[in-house]
Structure 1
Amino acid sequence: MDSGMDIDGVDGTPKVEAQDELVDVEFSRPSSSSQKQKQNGLHSTLKDLPVKVHIRRPERDSWVYVGRAVVNYETSGSSGQVVVRSAASGKILVRFTEISELQAERRGNFVVVGIIDGAKVVSWSLNALNSSDTLKLLSCIQVCCHPSKLAVIDPNGHHKLQKRVERLIKEDRRKRHKRRKEADSMVEAFSRTTIGADQQQPIDVQ
């Protein structure tokens, strides 16, 4: 994997600060017209956007190349979703919806999306052609997958959901870093052992 895929060096997890006091906030449900306007905007922004797709499965440290794909914003009734389809077969590789428990982050021209699957994390890396497409992709995923209905109906539940996603992704990153550090230590120890053995070999003098 090239250096562009080494995304673990920066912790881009957003911080959520606890408030010192409770504040009464009045939530208003978005109107159907504003929802339609948002969907139209996402449709025009995210249409047949080409990407290269990699996946990192749970308990794995390396990325696996999936192939080229196109990303579109699609609607089903009043809800929308970001759909990633194989450019070769048209098969859906992954879709991101409002009910997806995920966190999307930018790493150069990559958008890395961590999705919670039970208590594990499946990571998708979408490599766009340029910075402009990367920003479009990231913003559309964040807007489309924001659980706005839950935030309105149950703000406390929405906050707990966000914290759970952040916690599981941080824990997954911590475990990967630990495994990588242990692997590096083993390689270093093996190198020292090999060098020491070579130095002890007798030298034949003719």
Structure 2
Amino acid sequence: MDSNMDIDTAPFTFAVPQPPPEAMSDPIISSIPSPPHISHPTETREQFKAIPVKVHIRRPERDSWVYAGRGVVTLEVSGHSSQVVVRSTSTNKILTLFNETSDLQAEKRGNFVVIGCVEGSKVVSWSLNALNNAETLRLLASIELACYKCQQALGDPRTHYKSRRRIDRVIKDDRRKRHKRRKDQDAMVDAFSRQALSESAEPVPSR
């Protein structure tokens, strides 16, 4: 070997692998809350709690309520539609149900939800007595949700408005007739009581 040959005495360097840099935490991104959980329709159906009620019914041309027993109200969902079903607690028989095809008007009166169902020119009224105010509000909201005519309101709002006006008119007319019958009955009872008092006040002829 030639002793005059230049030998490269530069030290050898080896690339030492370095760990990847840690991701920097962005304070703005980290402060963004996670998106809320969107419940699936099946979860809503499973989470609905049945509402125990006392059921009364007032049939057409009648002024008094008839007790129909204790019942339980459930909200049954099928696809995009739902219905409120009232079943008897003792027999599990369906007493009545309300859905999008029902022509009705529901209102809250204390712990009662009174539903006037229009059938032609007649009105069948249901009274559902819940346990407390919270259950009553939940019951009313369930009925309004199940019976809202969404397709008609969006597709034909004019027909929807006319239908609502007709339902209101029939129910108001039924209420007016009931009040008139009650007033006539009270007047008749008052007349009979006055007649009975006048007859008892007449002196008995002496023999």
Superposition TM-score, scaled by structure 1 size: 0.77
CA–CA separation in structure 1 for the residues paired with 2:43 and 2:97: 19
What is the Cα deviation at residue 41 of structure 1? 4.3
* Aligned-partner SS, 1:156: helix
- Contact (CA 8 Å) 2:114, 2:126: kept in 1 or not? yes
- Contact (CA 8 Å) 1:53, 1:124: kept in 2 or not? yes
Deviations 1:119-169 (A, max 9, x none): 100000000011110010011111211101100110000000100000000
Deviations 1:6-64 (A, max 9, x none): xxxxxxxxxxxxxxxxxxxxxxxxxxxx9x8578547634x221000000000000000
- Contact (CA 8 Å) 1:51, 1:129: kept in 2 or not? yes
Match of 1:194 in 2: 196
Match of 2:67 in 1: 65
State which structure, 1 or 2, has the greater radius of gyration over its C-alpha atoms.
Answer: 2
**Aligned-pair identity (%):** 54
Q: Are residues 1:137 and 2:160 paired?
A: no
- Contact (CA 8 Å) 1:43, 1:72: kept in 2 or not? no
Match of 2:171 in 1: 169
CA–CA separation in structure 1 for the residues paired with 2:204 and 2:89: 60
Cα 1:199–1:39 change in 2 (3 A) is farther
1:75 maps to amino acid: V
Match of 2:126 in 1: 124
* Unpaired segments ≥5 residues, structure 2: 1-37
What is the Cα deviation at residue 76 of structure 1? 2.8
Match of 1:93 in 2: 95
CA–CA separation in structure 2 for the residues paired with 1:203 and 1:44: 79
Match of 1:76 in 2: 78
- Contact (CA 8 Å) 1:57, 1:123: kept in 2 or not? yes
* Aligned-partner SS, 1:202: coil
Q: Are residues 1:44 and 2:43 paired?
A: no
- Contact (CA 8 Å) 1:42, 1:140: kept in 2 or not? no
- Contact (CA 8 Å) 1:111, 1:137: kept in 2 or not? yes
Deviations 1:163-196 (A, max 9, x none): 0000000000000000000000000111110000
Cα 1:37–1:157 change in 2 (3 A) is farther
1:90 maps to amino acid: N
* Unpaired segments ≥5 residues, structure 1: 1-33
Deviations 1:103-126 (A, max 9, x none): 001111100000011110000000
CA–CA separation in structure 1 for the residues paired with 2:45 and 2:199: 63
CA–CA separation in structure 2 for the residues paired with 1:168 and 1:37: 38
1:123 maps to amino acid: S
- The counterpart of 2:180, out of the listed 178, 188, 205, is 178
What is the Cα deviation at residue 203 of structure 1? 7.6
Match of 2:16 in 1: none
Superposition TM-score, scaled by structure 2 size: 0.77
* Greater alpha carbon shift after TM alignment, 77-86 vs 157-166: 77-86
